[in-house]
Structure 1
Amino acid sequence: MRRAITYRTAEVDGLPIFWREAGDPHAPALLLLHGLPSSSRMYQPLLERLSGRYRLVAPDYPGFGHSAAPEPAVFPYTFDRLAEVMIRFTEHLGLSRYSLFLQDYGGPVGFRMALAHPERLEALIIQNAVAHETGLGPAWVTRRAFWADRAANEAALRVNLLSPEATRRRHVGDDPAVEHYDPDLWTDELAFLGRPGQSDIQTKLFHDYGSNVAAYPAWQDWLRRTRPRLLVLWGRHDPSFDLSEPEAYRRDVPGAEIHILDAGHFALDTEADRIAALVGRFLQLTGNRNPTMENDMKEDEIVDSSFTAMIHAPLEKIDIPAWCFSLSEQEYQGCSPAHLAAGFTTAPDGRRMSINVEIIGGSLMVQHYVETFGRKDHLILESVSDVFTPSGRTTIHVHWEMSVKPLESGICEFTNRVRSTATPEFKTFLDRQGIPFDVFRAQRQPMSIAHNRGETPLFAASIERVAIAS
């Protein structure tokens, strides 16, 4: 179900900042950062298509769209300053966790935000935004000359960047199917660029673009170190950015999901339906780890991860305990390559038990999950699990919790939370080997989180199949 789009303005750092918003304010947030010379208007197609599942927030930077546009003499038009204002904007809205969608100028603004506050980032979506010098195409010869000598090259830069032909070409590029592009896309932008003072603002800001190129190595290092959940969408007809850029991102983040689109620099111009579908699916597979869980991590806690996925079935058809305690070995194995065997029985006290055998981080684990709470839409299981390692056998305690909640007619959100803690036996096991618990925990967490992230959408699909068949 689509939700109405709202159009608002708030004062941020003394500047009126305009934004478009759609979706449930309690839903996972997607912050959409626009390009040049566009505004939040470019994201209207996504707000219309994804507002039933997510909170979408699309602001205009200072100097763009309907936000304030003070003269360059009184406002420093730099990418550092735009990022600072956008950080304050998210704080004004109370956005403590969000995924980022970065297009063109959204790249340098968004990377600064991510590096300043990595704890706020759920996932990263990049659409024709560059973080590698090899991604800058032939049009950048004139632009580099402008950075080197502004006075000598400013006139050429304005033609290269802001002229009617440049504005049209930024949309169409070398796409032969020009009939698919609405001319209002660039004529509206030209009307914006024709407002008093706009050429000076955009020229001043672009003179700072060289600071982005200088920051590329730091952004690449952050990508390689943190390996964020990354979706790269790339319009192949872009006249500004090179088609080699998506693979450069893959080298930084090997697990990145990449799609090359038959589109231009502003891929939403012609591929809105496909982009919405890809973004929606990607976000379904993205974990919504609760920061309060992370902050409240107990001394003996190994990992606490929570991921969500969609189940396309009505709530009344879903019965998680019935699914769990009838899960066949073949079905269990199909939910992760790390799953080896499964069965179900009863504990000595008569409670239902699910037995799962899997490999996580190179260790064989036998889980004895005993039901501690069971309702059709909510199941909690506890296990003192056997862990077999090259150094011997030990145990850990695992809390497994699954739940569903309705989102809209016929669609539910499935949450898969797994929390593991060290038993006294496990701590003794580490002590005998001289392994500090904090070191083990730091090594174990990414493996356990990756396992949970991978199995969650497949568990959801399995529950959906059972629900539909019932």
Structure 2
Amino acid sequence: MNSTNESNSQVTPVVVHHRYATIDGMKIFYREAGPADGPVVLLLHGFPTSSHMFRNLIPALADRYHVIAPDYPGYGQSDMPDPKHYAYTFAGFGDIVEKLLAQLKVTSFAMYVMDYGAPVGWQLFLKGPERITGLIIQNGNAYEEGLKTFWDPIKVYWADGRKESRDALLGLVSLETTIFQYTDGVDDKTRISPDNWVHDQALLDRPGNADVQMDVMYDYRSNVPLYPQVQALFRKHQPPAIIVWGERDFIFPADGAHPYKRDLTDLEFHLLPTGHFALEDKADEMVPLIRSFLDRKVAN
């Protein structure tokens, strides 16, 4: 092959911008890529990670889509205010993302929701369901059927709010648990970069961050009463949706994926033989599914 043909066959790398916005006096970090006038895809991360979990997905979408992936307060590169002065709640996270979108003049968007990203996304959905052009749902709950064994000790804390119950959950921010979240249910663990837990654990181990995480886990109880409202909006607005779910996830098992079929009629449903952070293991299968969904349901 001559040098001209070789040059023409090369793919231009996607540029991802790493930005900060000031919202309510806090620096909020977000990753942004893709054409400014492209359909917006909002990527909402889970626990205990950040927009870092989307570092491989963003370039795979950004040739056509305007991709935005924020870090919530206390996560990733965003500010981590003292819990004595800032309430770490999902309503608050939703408000921060709402204000970020307003700053960026985003009026409609598809959402990728995963883990904690699901209740953050549902906050946005409840405020303006007509803005949502599509849903990519990956191991994120909107149904009580999905809150299985993993959640039992957390439900104890929800019920009594006692320090002893809170302290019993501190193992959830340990390195052992962080590694478990990435590797449990994965057949070939060489597919999972150890950079994931090194990155996440360094942030979890910051002074005061364990208290942040316990506050967020306690507030998760506020999401459950909202599920019927979210489900009602699914039925009324019927956003096109795709489920790409790691079916071996102990935290958000597939029990939580199937109920979406009750309420969403324009739903594409895929269970993948992997665990919680499915993108780390199965991006080669997930990205084509997500691209196809967006190209057919959101871009046109």
Distance, in Å, in 1 between the alignment partners of 2:168 and 2:174 is 10
Q: CA deviation at 1:72?
A: 0.5
SS at match of 2:227: helix
Give the TM-score taking structure 1 as reference length: 0.60
* Aligned residue identity for 1:88: K
* d(CA) in 2 for partners of 1:6, 1:92: 16
Contact 1:230–1:257 at 8 Å: present in 2 too?
yes
Q: 2:243·2:268 contact (CA, 8 Å) conserved in 1? A: yes
Unaligned runs of 5+ in 2: 1-11
On the 8 A contact 1:169/1:239 being kept in 2, the answer is: no
One-letter identity of the residue aligned with 2:194: P
Deviation by residue 1:87-129 (Cα, 9 ceiling, x = unmatched): 0000011111110110111100001101101222111111100
Q: Distance in 2 between matches of 1:174 and 1:95?
A: 37
CA-CA distance at 1:287 after TM superposition: 4.5
**2:117 is the counterpart of 1:106:** yes
**Is 1:268 equivalent to 2:279 in the alignment?**
yes
Change in CA separation of 1:187 and 1:252 when aligned onto 2, cut-off 3 Å? same
Q: Alpha-carbon deviations, 1:417-466, whole Å to 9, x = none?
A: xxxxxxxxxxxxxxxxxxxxxxxxxxxxxxxxxxxxxxxxxxxxxxxxxx
Q: Is the 8 A contact 2:129 2:233 kept in 1?
A: no
Give a deviation string over 1:143-180, Cα, whole Å, max 9, x none.
Answer: 10111123221121111x21222111111223343232
Shift of 1:223: 1.1
Amino acid of the residue matched to residue 43 of structure 2? L
Query: CA deviation digits over 1:339-370, x for unaligned, max 9?
Result: xxxxxxxxxxxxxxxxxxxxxxxxxxxxxxxx
Q: Aligned with 1:168: secondary structure? A: helix
Q: Tell me, in whole angstroms, the C-alpha distance in 2 between the residues paired with 1:272 and 1:164.
A: 24
Residues 232 and 258 in structure 1, CA contact (< 8 A), matched pair in contact too: yes
* Structure 2 partner of 1:278: 289
AA partner of residue 25 (structure 1): A
Q: Distance in 2 between matches of 1:212 and 1:46?
A: 27
1:96–1:120 CA contact under 8 A, matched in 2:
yes
Q: CA separation in 1, counterparts of 2:264 and 2:130? A: 18
Identity rate, percent: 37
> Which of 214, 231, 241 lines up with 1:203 in the alignment?
214
Among 228, 236, 248, the alignment partner of 2:239 is 228
Asked if the contact 1:34–1:102 (Cα under 8 Å) also holds between the matched residues in 2, the reply is: yes
Amino acid at match of 2:164: A
Q: How many equivalent residue pairs?
A: 288
Q: Structure 1: how far apart are the matches of 2:106 and 2:230?
A: 23
Match of residue 127, structure 2, among 116, 120, 125: 116
CA RMSD of aligned residues (A): 1.3
Q: Is the 8 A contact 1:24 1:53 kept in 2?
A: yes
Cα shift at 1:79? 0.5
Alignment of 1:305-324 (within 5 A): 308=300
Q: How does 1:133-172 map to 2 (within 5 A)?
A: 133-150=144-161, 151-159=163-171, 161-172=172-183
Q: What is the rounded CA distance, in whole Å, between the counterparts of 2:268 and 2:44 in structure 1?
A: 20
Rounded to whole Å, the distance in 2 between the matches of 1:242 and 1:204 is 23
| One-letter amino acid of the counterpart of residue 166, structure 2 | E
CA shift digits 1:278-306 (9 cap, x unpaired): 11111111245xxxxxxxxxxxxxxxxxx
Relative to the length of structure 2, the TM-score reads: 0.92
CA distance in 2, matches of 1:223, 1:68: 33
Counterparts of 2:39 and 2:187 in 1: how far apart (Å)?
A: 38
**2:251 alignment counterpart:** 240
Match of 2:79? 68
Question: Which of the pair has more CA radius of gyration?
Answer: 1
Deviation at 1:2, TM superposition (A): 4.3
Q: Secondary structure at 1:209's aligned position in 2? A: helix
**Letter of the structure 2 residue corresponding to residue 180 of structure 1:** R
Aligned to 2:5: none
1:88 aligns to 2:99 (yes or no): yes
Q: Which runs of 4+ in 1 moved over 4 A?
A: none
Structure 1 residue aligned with 2:3? none
* Residue ranges of structure 1 left out of the alignment (5+ in a row): 289-307, 309-470
Asked whether the 8 Å contact 2:44–2:70 carries over to 1, the reply is yes
- Contact 2:186 2:281 (C-alpha < 8 Å) held by counterparts: no
Q: In proportion to residue count, which structure has more helix? A: 2
* 3-state SS of 1:244 partner: helix
